[in-house]
Structure 1
Amino acid sequence: MADLSIKTPIAYLKGIGPQKADVINKELQIFTIGDLLEYYPFRYIDRTEFHKIRKLHADMLGAQVLGRLTSLQEVGEKRARRLIGQFRDDTGSIELVWFQSITWLKKSLQVGTAYIAYGKPTEFNGQISITHPEMERYNSQEKKIGNLTMQPVYSSTEKLKKFNLDSKGIQKLQQAALETVYRDLYEPLPSYIVEEQQLLPYPQALLAIHFPQDVQTLQAAIRRLKFEELFFIQLRLLRNKQLNTQKYRGHRFDQVGDKFTTFFNDRLPFPLTNAQKRVVKEIRVDTNTGAQMNRLVQGDVGSGKTVVALMSMLLAIDNGFQACMMAPTEILAQQHFAGISALLGDDIARVKLLTGSTPAKERRIIHQQLEDGTLDILIGTHALIEDKVKFKQIGFVVIDEQHRFGVEQRAKLWRKNTIPPHMLVMTATPIPRTLAMTMYGDLDISVIDELPAGRKPIKTVHFFENQRLRVFGFMREEISKGRQVYVVFPLIKESEKMDLLYLEAGLENLQREFPLPEFKISIVHGKLSVKDKDFEMQRFVKGETQIMVATTVIEVGVNVPNASVMIIENSERFGLSQLHQLRGRVGRGAEQSFCILMSGNKLSKEGRTRLETMVRTSDGFEIAEVDLQLRGPGDISGTQQSGVLEMKIANLAADQAILTEARSRVIEIFKEDPSLTLEKNSLLVHYLAQRNPSISWDKIS
């Protein structure tokens, strides 16, 4: 026992052995004693106080009552058999109900005896009862009254329960682990941080999280462990950022030349917003430092990210470099090419498009022009990262909707020059501040938080299924004005599990209401070939069809200024960020646009919150914050970043204040001691050396 440590495999802990260890490894990804101690309870049962029967209510998660069992009666037969006890204190009485272990309970429970009953109060027909309460006999002679503690509850699985590893079984393991290694637990944080932040020492915090004696100590333990987790994440991210700046030399763009100036003075279709000006300035400063730029630009749909990207690429061209822009879909790449070509005209810069559909002859010309330097800007899809694509001097790379690309795909662009090009990654998915600080903490982040002047806010309304005829009437009105309509469905065909209006049935319904030849409908979904999808999209773009029936494939990359209505079927089934992205497909022209959220009559609390949020606000960042609260951080950005979001105890939705505090403290440390050479920071150096984290997923974002 004495030679066991937190690094010892779990199989060697008393009471486990190889078989149990194997199931713990597979079910919980716990491999060492240290992993076990970091497997924290997900909630606690509060047994620190007694409640009077008169004060019990159904909203309580659990309640402990001291009273007397006044009667016990078995009722019903076979499967309907149950045991009902009357339980009374000095304020009233309630029913205790058991459906299992009835024979044993009848023998062990004694009428007229005082007990401590614990369970979840429920209400039926105005009466409060507790089903399957825990019963503990009360002994008035003992000084200790019951189990007055916060009882931890651990997540378990069916396979674990077969080995007696339910919540109580896991708690026994935690006790064995702490008894074994408690004396050898060391403090990972420098003592000055523990003192400044008034944190519980690590061993005490670990003991209190698994065996809390009172609410105050438990809260102090939770705060300590959350701060530590978030602090070390920020330490790794900011150290990574610092190393990148030192390691990767960047091209210096010290000229603001003719191309940038001509475009700014003569070609801008509208004045830049203050937010766009701020971001352009940040990029200009970054590209003149001599270090490689890695910057994430967040901007809501329609905020003008593309113009910022174009001006940045012109800055590169003015300094003798080439630039490229990579988009996740062919449609989006074509859209960027058409928009940028129209803005630049024929005289400012030479622009070409390279996608999977580019003919071989055109490809050869593009390859040649890239290598001899006569092509300034290349816009395309994954085709840009092919080995055949070689630049004479690539200096600036723009990646649109960056979360759609893998790390290796981005790295291939990064490696197309001996000195890495500056990287500007863009996303139209607003990322909550806390999530951005954690997922992209080693990137510089810019936010375009203004819409161009003259844009009319999209009016968003929520209708139930029984209001569909009103919606059809509104569609006809808008189509009669020459406008176009999107109708988006969550599924392509009927799902047996979900009672959703699926696309095929919805299409039949629409074809009855909007018949040929007066109305024409485009259909787009993920099962269509790229060619067919593009054909249908183009019919809608050209105005040959009035209604586009689609699944969420139109979420990113369709720009039809004439489309003024977005109807989202079964909108309660979509995530908030997806609803916001879909809404952004309209509102691109000068006319008033509308988003209609259709739903069934029965809505969950979460579904109602989502739809109410969409109706209330069009602020993408506010929507992203609500989404984070509802869904948690795991999937909010469209990708799970390796390692960083797999937190043991911190919660980005709930712990924004602690995260901000932890990040600020790390920034101060690096400001005072950039290389962590001071003796007081030796523990931090030890931590970085031990973990050696390979968080490379955003060095080359």
Structure 2
Amino acid sequence: MPKKPAPPPLTLETAVTFLKGCGPQVAQRLAQLGIETVADLLLHLPSRYEDRRHCTTFSAWADGAEGVFRARVLHSEVRFAPRRSLRVLVEDDSGTALLRLFHFHPNQQTLLAPGRWVQGFGTGRITREGLTFVHPTFEVADSADAFVLEPHLTPVYPTTQGLAQPRLRSLVERALAVAAEDAAFQQPVPGIDGPETLAALNQLHRPTADDAIVALARFEHPAQRRLIDEELLAHQLSLRWLRRTLQQRPAPAIGALAEAQTALSAGLPFALTGAQQRVLTEIGHDLEQRRPMLRLVQGDVGAGKTLVAAVAMLAAVRAGFQAALMAPTELLAEQHARSFQTWFAPLGIEVTLLTGRLRKKERDAALAQLQAGHSGVLVGTHALFQDEVRLARLGLLVIDEQHRFGVQQRLALRDKGPEGLTPHQLIMSATPIPRTLAQTVHADLDISVIDELPPGRTPVRTVAMSNSRRSEVFARIGEVCAQGRQAYWVCTLVEVSDQLEAQAAEETAAQLREALPQLQVGLVHGRMRGEDKEAQMRAFKEGRTQLLVATTVIEVGVDVPNASIMIIENAERLGLSQLHQLRGRVGRGSVESQCVLLYQPPLSEMARARLGVMRQSNDGFVIARTDLELRGPGELLGRRQTGLVGLKIADPVRDAARVARLQPLADELLASAPTVARRLIRRWVGDFDRYGQV
């Protein structure tokens, strides 16, 4: 019988299944946490700590405090009222306490026999029955001398169902033993102060008695600061590596942007703002280079980002290349296509729209036109990612609402153009974030900001009202529309479901038609056919419909200057940035506009804070900054963005100020110590090589 092959030597790159105590089921649960290798285990850091180093007597216990107790069992019994539970009365030198177990095995009652000793950890509450612990963790012995206390703070890790803390702790201990044999973890990282990586990890997985829980909770511990710097440096390195590698590829030189700006402006009834012109100058400089432009344009709702993109696209087409814009939704893609057709048709430029709704015959014809180079401008959705989409002369790629797409998706579009040339990339975002944060999250991009709204935009007055005042809101809509203006009513639901949202919108539209029979009420939701949505939105834009009921698809797409009031139902369920995006649909004319945030009481503290900010500010940068503080970067920036490097300990909001000194260090390491740079990228990013081959 052949011998079973010996397991490979354990390294940080080894799969966790080779660690003792990690069978297939445990490995599957670890994978749910993003843990696949020994290194992943090392970097799975505690979310908090428990202090199990000292015993607290029952008489000294504060209500709601957490701690360790050691006591002798006096009595145990099972009671069935009001709920079945195992009740264990225990005693130490200072008094008694009650342990209550609602979920227990019969042998636990046998184990907790009178006279035995128990050492437990839990939260003690002062109740009518005295000091009570519900489901403490505990161990049982025949004498008090059999117990030992923990020598260090006990880590509590993020986990998933079926993966207990003791198992996680034992696996992390084994991972630390593997790391102790890894020479790379002993090597210093040039330019970063504090304990070395392995020493810092040891301190965080096994904090000693001298470590303060308060410092750890505030992320002020030297070991935390050391690893935060290392992770942020790895983030900068990975994105800068992508940028440097991408910009080594040739790109088309596109000039004459000023002439394109003049040509497009001639057909507009308004002038570009100073901020738009400044950003176009920055874009024009990039397009003239023979390396790919990588530029992010941030601007508030209505700041005119699309027009800036249109000028750049016109310059590309006039230089003999094609330009493509990718939007996250079909509705937004359709809106962009309509705008471009209006602007480009007088200049003799054809615009092609490519979405998933096209019939095969229409799609095949559009693809043939693009491949032959006959269509100068392409607008589409995720459909652009598909392999058969090829543009003969793609020179410029514009990505709208970039936070909906990940870096990897964006890079996947780099080969859509002609062989040997990489298209320039212009990325737009209506979710403005502070520059320090943008430099952290978008380290691979140059950043431009349109920080000026077009003249004539009147600030929107925002009020929050309880749903109990719904009839007052109906009456207000009637008054506004009687004055010749128009209104939106936006329906939202907790559960993201086209079907449920469609039902909610249909029911609301029926209520409004009954309450306001004098008005023409339109309806738009995600389950409608494209042509039906188009007809409803066109009717609203042309003024044939006074009131448009819609789901959050209306967040983008419709520009109706005559609309002066928006009602957002269940506003407490939405994030600040989405509320601000929706509000941006009104206030586009010269008449003062209103946004009514209807909420269902009672409000949570976070919901109350969000609605308060909406009432106080129309500034998208202020709102985005507050949204970051309330919800964190994962929700606002998109999980694909923040998930790029795992963000195991660093926080792009909390730690943004640390980035400035790490950026020159990243450039220095890439230039003089690429081996160190790769090691850090591999350690913190892990899957970097999957999309780093640019």
Task: Work out whether 1:14 is the aligned partner of 2:9.
Answer: no
The 5-angstrom pairing of residues 93-172 of structure 1 reads 96-100=98-102, 103=109, 107=113, 118-122=121-125, 130-133=133-136, 146-147=149-150, 149-160=152-163, 166-172=164-170
C-alpha distance in 2, partners of 1:429/1:552?
16
Task: Work out whether 1:662 is the aligned partner of 2:657.
Answer: no
Cα offsets for 1:518-564 (capped at 9, x unmatched): 21111111111112121221221111111111112212111111111
Task: Work out whether 1:248 is the aligned partner of 2:250.
Answer: yes
| Alignment correspondent of 1:175 | 173
When residues 643 and 299 of structure 1 are mapped into structure 2, their CA distance, relative to the original with a 3 A threshold, is: same
C-alpha distance in 1, partners of 2:399/2:585?
20
Cα offsets for 1:494-533 (capped at 9, x unmatched): 99x9999933332332222112xx2111111111111212
The 5-angstrom pairing of residues 631-670 of structure 1 reads 631-638=631-638, 640-641=640-641, 644-667=644-667, 669=668
| Alignment correspondent of 1:378 | 377
Cα offsets for 1:613-655 (capped at 9, x unmatched): 3223233233333333444444534562596153333333433
**1:45 aligned partner, one-letter code:** E
C-alpha distance in 1, partners of 2:503/2:127?
35
When residues 250 and 613 of structure 1 are mapped into structure 2, their CA distance, relative to the original with a 3 A threshold, is: same
TM-score normalized by the length of structure 1? 0.79
When residues 236 and 387 of structure 1 are mapped into structure 2, their CA distance, relative to the original with a 3 A threshold, is: closer
| Alignment correspondent of 2:463 | 461
| Alignment correspondent of 2:587 | 587
Give the alignment's Cα RMSD to 1 decimal.
Answer: 4.7
Cα offsets for 1:398-441 (capped at 9, x unmatched): 33334567838972784147533322222323356576445532
Which of 453, 460, 469 is residue 451 of structure 1 equivalent to?
453
The 5-angstrom pairing of residues 417-428 of structure 1 reads 418-428=420-430
| Alignment correspondent of 2:205 | 210
C-alpha distance in 2, partners of 1:661/1:485?
49
**1:463 aligned partner, one-letter code:** M
TM-score normalized by the length of structure 2? 0.80
Compute the displacement of 1:361 (Å).
11
**Alignment partner of 1:649: what SS?**
coil
Compute the displacement of 1:317 (Å).
5.6
When residues 51 and 461 of structure 1 are mapped into structure 2, their CA distance, relative to the original with a 3 A threshold, is: farther
Asked whether the equivalents of residues 75 and 114 of structure 2 are also in contact (C-alpha less than 8 Å), the reply is no
C-alpha distance in 2, partners of 1:123/1:635?
39
Which of 38, 42, 46 is residue 43 of structure 2 equivalent to?
38
**Alignment partner of 2:522: what SS?**
strand
C-alpha distance in 2, partners of 1:180/1:593?
63
When residues 118 and 247 of structure 1 are mapped into structure 2, their CA distance, relative to the original with a 3 A threshold, is: same
Asked whether the equivalents of residues 41 and 172 of structure 2 are also in contact (C-alpha less than 8 Å), the reply is yes
Asked whether the equivalents of residues 179 and 185 of structure 2 are also in contact (C-alpha less than 8 Å), the reply is no
**Alignment partner of 1:246: what SS?**
coil
Task: Work out whether 1:684 is the aligned partner of 2:690.
Answer: no
C-alpha distance in 2, partners of 1:23/1:334?
42
| Alignment correspondent of 1:163 | none
When residues 596 and 70 of structure 1 are mapped into structure 2, their CA distance, relative to the original with a 3 A threshold, is: same
The 5-angstrom pairing of residues 268-667 of structure 1 reads 269-316=269-316, 319=319, 323-327=323-327, 332-333=332-333, 335-336=335-336, 339=339, 346=346, 349-355=347-353, 378=377, 380-381=379-380, 394-402=394-402, 407=409, 411=413, 414-416=416-418, 418-431=420-433, 436-437=438-439, 439-491=441-493, 502-515=504-517, 518-638=518-638, 640-641=640-641, 644-667=644-667
**Alignment partner of 1:534: what SS?**
helix
Aligned residue-pair number: 666
| Alignment correspondent of 2:3 | none
**Further displaced range: 620-629 or 466-475:** 620-629
| Alignment correspondent of 2:193 | 198
When residues 446 and 46 of structure 1 are mapped into structure 2, their CA distance, relative to the original with a 3 A threshold, is: farther
When residues 118 and 498 of structure 1 are mapped into structure 2, their CA distance, relative to the original with a 3 A threshold, is: farther
Cα offsets for 1:97-129 (capped at 9, x unmatched): 42356835863577xx9x987433557699985
When residues 692 and 578 of structure 1 are mapped into structure 2, their CA distance, relative to the original with a 3 A threshold, is: closer
Compute the displacement of 1:303 (Å).
0.6
**Further displaced range: 243-252 or 232-241:** 243-252
**Further displaced range: 3-12 or 599-608:** 3-12
Cα offsets for 1:309-346 (capped at 9, x unmatched): 23333444665655454555565455445545666784
Compute the displacement of 1:590 (Å).
1.3
**Further displaced range: 97-106 or 381-390:** 381-390
**Alignment partner of 1:586: what SS?**
coil
**Alignment partner of 2:169: what SS?**
helix
C-alpha distance in 2, partners of 1:330/1:11?
43
Compute the displacement of 1:237 (Å).
0.9
**Alignment partner of 1:149: what SS?**
coil
C-alpha distance in 2, partners of 1:596/1:650?
37
Compute the displacement of 1:151 (Å).
0.9
**Alignment partner of 2:413: what SS?**
helix
Cα offsets for 1:114-156 (capped at 9, x unmatched): x987433557699985434456999xx99x9944632111233
| Alignment correspondent of 1:83 | 87
Asked whether the equivalents of residues 242 and 692 of structure 2 are also in contact (C-alpha less than 8 Å), the reply is no
Asked whether the equivalents of residues 188 and 687 of structure 1 are also in contact (C-alpha less than 8 Å), the reply is no
Unaligned runs of 5+ in 1: 161-165
Asked whether the equivalents of residues 505 and 550 of structure 2 are also in contact (C-alpha less than 8 Å), the reply is yes
**Alignment partner of 1:98: what SS?**
strand
Compute the displacement of 1:479 (Å).
0.9
Asked whether the equivalents of residues 84 and 97 of structure 1 are also in contact (C-alpha less than 8 Å), the reply is yes
| Alignment correspondent of 1:675 | 671
Asked whether the equivalents of residues 96 and 133 of structure 1 are also in contact (C-alpha less than 8 Å), the reply is no
When residues 616 and 152 of structure 1 are mapped into structure 2, their CA distance, relative to the original with a 3 A threshold, is: same
